[in-house]
A = this chain, B = another copy of it.
Amino acid sequence: MTTVIVDTLKALPLFQHCPKETCEQLATHSHLDSYKKGQILFLNGEQAHNFFFLQKGWVKLFRETLDGDQAIIDILPPHTLFGEAILYESKTYNYSAEVVEEAQIIRMPLKILHQEIEKNGLMALSLLKSMTRRQHAQEMEIEHLTLQNAPQRIGCFLLRLIDQKQTEGPIIIHLPYDKTLLAARLGMQPETFSRALTRLREETGIEIKGSTVMAQSLSQLSHYSCAACSSGFPCSCA
């Protein structure tokens, strides 16, 4: 069981330079659990003791505004490490995390990671790298919000879901979670999402059946979606 965790960790960029002993120590203090839709991992403002690796499923990061709205920070795809960057701001989570699709998650104590980073320069460098990537992705997110319209944002999102390997031929994409949630993720209302998807179909000729989207070619989508973006296709956001 812990060997599964060790293997998982060793495969991550962040743990490339983590000595075996630390990985093992981390693994023995970790837990791999299954979570159902709707379960809360932690709440904004809570003492941060753990960081997480999302092996399977999707997790929503969010905050609540004073007037009761929900601000969605991100919706994490599988194979994402999260909560690890908390270390250097406050000792509390600055957002809440909720499972939105049946998930398997490894929960690990921040303390051990923290100690390793403090004494191991190479680990610090790895973390720097992953933060840089994340930062760039966030810059793009801002750009998308200000420059793309609703149908373009959806198209851009679809393009980023596509397996990087296939750049040719027809493509099938499955929406990874609720359309309502997807709408929120893209900063629009569910109704707008629905109409914008129809609009995207008209503009690009994609086909939509439930949560399945089919496109005859990438260029069909990217030509329309990436027009208002500073990085053409393929999008440079992670």
Complex: A134 Cα to B138 Cα, angstroms = 11
Evaluate contact between B89 and A136: CB separation under 8 angstroms. yes
Binds B, one of A163-171, A191-199, A222-230: A222-230
Q: Does A94 contact B (CB under 8 A)?
A: yes
A18 CB contacts on chain B under 8 angstroms:
none
Complex: A146 Cα to B189 Cα, angstroms = 11
A228 touching B132 in the complex, CB below 8 Å, given contacts A139-B73, A146-B71: no
Q: Does A79 contact B (CB under 8 A)?
A: no
Q: Which residue of B lies closest to A186 (CB)?
A: B146
Q: Does A14 contact B (CB under 8 A)?
A: no
Evaluate contact between A147 and B69: CB separation under 8 angstroms. yes
Evaluate contact between A63 and B138: CB separation under 8 angstroms. no
A231 CB contacts on chain B under 8 angstroms:
63
Evaluate contact between A141 and B143: CB separation under 8 angstroms. no
Binds B, one of A27-35, A121-129, A200-208: A121-129
A230 touching B71 in the complex, CB below 8 Å, given contacts A128-B131, A135-B135, A142-B142: yes
A91 CB contacts on chain B under 8 angstroms:
none
A7 CB contacts on chain B under 8 angstroms:
none
Evaluate contact between A138 and B136: CB separation under 8 angstroms. no
Evaluate contact between B132 and A88: CB separation under 8 angstroms. yes
Evaluate contact between A147 and B65: CB separation under 8 angstroms. yes
Evaluate contact between B138 and A139: CB separation under 8 angstroms. yes
A69 CB contacts on chain B under 8 angstroms:
147, 228
Evaluate contact between B66 and A232: CB separation under 8 angstroms. yes
Q: Which of these, B67, B125, B229, contacts A227 with CB under 8 Å?
A: B67
Evaluate contact between B118 and A65: CB separation under 8 angstroms. no
A118 CB contacts on chain B under 8 angstroms:
121, 125
Q: Which of these, B85, B121, B143, contacts A63 with CB under 8 Å?
A: B143
Evaluate contact between B146 and A87: CB separation under 8 angstroms. no
A82-122, CB < 8 A from B: 85, 87-89, 94-95, 117-121
Evaluate contact between A66 and B227: CB separation under 8 angstroms. yes
Q: Does A64 contact B (CB under 8 A)?
A: yes
Evaluate contact between A230 and B66: CB separation under 8 angstroms. yes
Q: Which 9 pairs from chain A and chain B are nearest by CB?
A: A121-B121, A124-B124, A63-B230, A88-B129, A88-B132, A146-B187, A71-B143, A65-B230, A138-B138
